[in-house]
Amino acid sequence: MSDRDDRWLGEVRWNADGLVPAIAQEAGTGRVLTLAWMNHEALATTARTGEVHYWSRSRRALWKKGETSGHVQKVKDIRIDCDADAVLVSVEQVGGVACHTGHGRCFYRTLVDGVWREDEPVLKDPVAIYGEGR
């Protein structure tokens, strides 16, 4: 990619750690699947490959969504908000599982009477996805 091709990355308002929050939204339904973080490399790689990549703050490494599970996120659209400090990626969620817990999305708990309650089913056992050590 030439400097001219990635000038758009300079318009992103990265936080002090060089990250921007990235929301993954299911293209067909508009359902919010997850919130994760992207650095410059993750956003550039996502745009270039058409598959979502994030920055793992805990591992301090770039990771391709679904690299282990096979539940990749195929990019349909990438947007930036009015302040240029958040990214929205419209995706096709392969396999229907977006969360490492085996749920369809990371937002599977609802606050009910002061308690977080799971209100969506596990679609695939995480052990079947990642093995015993997870």
The alpha-helical segments, DSSP class H, found in 3-116 are: 40-49
Is CATH 1.10.3720.10 what the domain over 7-100 is classified as, yes or no?
no
**Residues with Cβ < 8 Å from 69, sequence gap 6 or more?**
95, 97, 100, 129, 130
- Closest by CA to 90, choosing from 44, 21, 20, 26, is 26
By CB atoms closer than 10 A (0-12, 13-18, 19+), residue 37 is middle
Domain boundaries, the chain: 7-100
Torsion of CA 74, 119, 22, 88, to 10 degrees: 70
Print pLDDT tens along the chain (134 aa): 444 578 999 999 999 999 999 999 999 999 999 999 999 999 999 999 999 999 999 999 999 999 989 999 999 999 999 999 999 999 999 999 999 999 999 999 999 999 999 999 999 988 888 887 65
The model's pTM: 0.89
Neighbours of 19 (CB within 10 A): 19
Contact 119, 107 (CB under 8 A): no
CA gap 23, 99 in Å, rounded? 13
CA gap 119, 1 in Å, rounded? 44
CA gap 132, 134 in Å, rounded? 6
Measured CA distances, 116 to 31, 119, 132 (Å): 19, 9, 26
